[in-house]
Amino acid sequence: MKFCIAVAMGLAASVYAADACTAEDMVRLDAGHLIAGSQRDSISGTPWSFEVWSPDADPEGNSMTYYDNGTFKAEWYGNPDFGARIGYSYWDSPQGVDHADWNYSLDYKYTKTIGYGEYLIGVHGWLTEPYDEFFIVDDWNYPIQVGKTFGEYEVDGAKYTVRVAWQGWPQSLLFYSIRETPRECGHIDVSAHFRKFDELFAGQADSVPDGKGINKPAVLKFGKLTDVMAAVNAFVDARGSIDYTYLSFAAERVEVLSSSSATPESSSTTVLPLVARVSGADRTLMVFDLQGRVLGSIFVAAGTSVNSAVLAKFGRPGSYIVK
């Protein structure tokens, strides 16, 4: 068939995202929702969920307050393991979701005070198939030397080092991606990190140290997402606070166009939502407006986004037909 798509560009947040470091703080129109102890739930009126965990349920010393615009703040005092997160959850789906089906990006800014203890701040989540954990670490205050190094890569103009360690009970792997220098604001192309994980961990067998430095066999595969969230994790009698004054977490659906789809058979049109990505060979595609008028052609390399190519060529969001 003749393969046509209507590409909606209006939600391409990563293209037009504000610079979180220089943007004004987001306006909080509500008084916030105070959460103490260990709880998690969806945030009404948004696509996000929250989670906080703490062995100490004292709201005066260990709590999270989230707001309807997605920002949040948290404080902890004398806590051996405190966590607060906001983002996308798939807790109702035991099999999780394929991380390759979505483009995730985070723009953030926060202030923090650290009185004692250690912390990690960045993007955190759990995986299934297999059951593991990951942490894209953009800010920290101690040398992260657990586990084994599996390489380096560059995302968003910075170098990240990948480490993997056994942890917890029942034991699972924790995939760390650690930024070369810490920061308190910026943009994280979360899905670019996921693609790097996929390149490094394709299901191969290896040995990985546990917390005591003992090597244990492991199958290295970055599985399906249970959740992906902006997060702070503090531990070792931790005392401190954080206030996310700007937080924009976006998720865009990805649809893959296989090169075999170009076989002419009919003039039917298939509409694909949000983000389309070409697999197989490079392709040159024709772009039309919704009235069928020719706007021009685009070249799309295999594995890259049709949306990005359209936006780069025509410079404006909107709806297009691509053949």
Residue 187 has pLDDT above 90, yes or no: yes
Integer distance in angstroms from the first to the last C-alpha of the chain? Answer: 11
pLDDT digit string, tens, across residues 189-244: 999 999 999 999 999 999 999 888 899 999 999 999 999 999 999 998 889 999 99
Q: What was the pLDDT predicted at 217?
A: 95
Q: What was the pLDDT predicted at 97?
A: 95
Q: What was the pLDDT predicted at 15?
A: 37
Q: What was the pLDDT predicted at 67?
A: 95
Q: Helix or strand or coil: residue 306?
A: helix
Is 157 within 8 Å of 140 (Cβ atoms)? no
**Given the structure tokens 């959740």, which residue do they identify?**
227
Q: What was the pLDDT predicted at 13?
A: 34
Q: What was the pLDDT predicted at 262?
A: 39
Residue 249 has pLDDT above 60, yes or no: yes
Q: Which domains does the chain have, with CATH numbers?
A: 20-252 (2.60.120.180), 254-322 (no CATH)
When pLDDT is averaged across residues 100-108 and rounded to a whole number, the result is: 93
Q: What is the pTM of this model?
A: 0.77
Q: How many CB atoms lie within 10 A of CB 204?
A: 10
Closest Cα partner for 221 from 204, 243, 239? Answer: 204
Question: What pLDDT band is residue 80 in, cutting at 50, 70 and 90?
Answer: confident
Residue 7 has pLDDT above 70, yes or no: no
- Lowest-pLDDT choice from 18-22, 89-93, 121-125, 197-201: 18-22
Q: What was the pLDDT predicted at 99?
A: 94
Residue 307 has pLDDT above 50, yes or no: yes
Question: What pLDDT band is residue 269 in, cutting at 50, 70 and 90?
Answer: very low
Which tokens go with 47?
A: 């696509």
Q: How many CB atoms lie within 10 A of CB 229?
A: 23
Q: What was the pLDDT predicted at 316?
A: 63
Q: Helix or strand or coil: residue 236?
A: strand
Residue 284 has pLDDT above 60, yes or no: yes
Question: What pLDDT band is residue 264 in, cutting at 50, 70 and 90?
Answer: very low
Residue 261 has pLDDT above 70, yes or no: no
pLDDT digit string, tens, across residues 49-71: 999 998 765 656 899 999 999 99
Q: What was the pLDDT predicted at 60?
A: 65
Q: What was the pLDDT predicted at 312?
A: 76
Q: What was the pLDDT predicted at 286?
A: 75
Q: What was the pLDDT predicted at 183?
A: 98
Q: What was the pLDDT predicted at 45?
A: 87
- The average confidence (pLDDT) of the chain is 83
Q: What was the pLDDT predicted at 79?
A: 85
DSSP 150-208: EEEEEETTEEEEEEEEEETTTTEEEEEEEESS--SEEEE-HHHHHHHHHHH-EEEEEEE
H or E element, residue 322: strand 319-322
When pLDDT is averaged across residues 18-25 and rounded to a whole number, the result is: 90
Q: What was the pLDDT predicted at 11?
A: 31
Residue 106 has pLDDT above 90, yes or no: yes
Rounded CA separation 308/276 (Å)? 9
Q: What was the pLDDT predicted at 56?
A: 64
Closest Cα partner for 308 from 289, 294, 322? Answer: 322
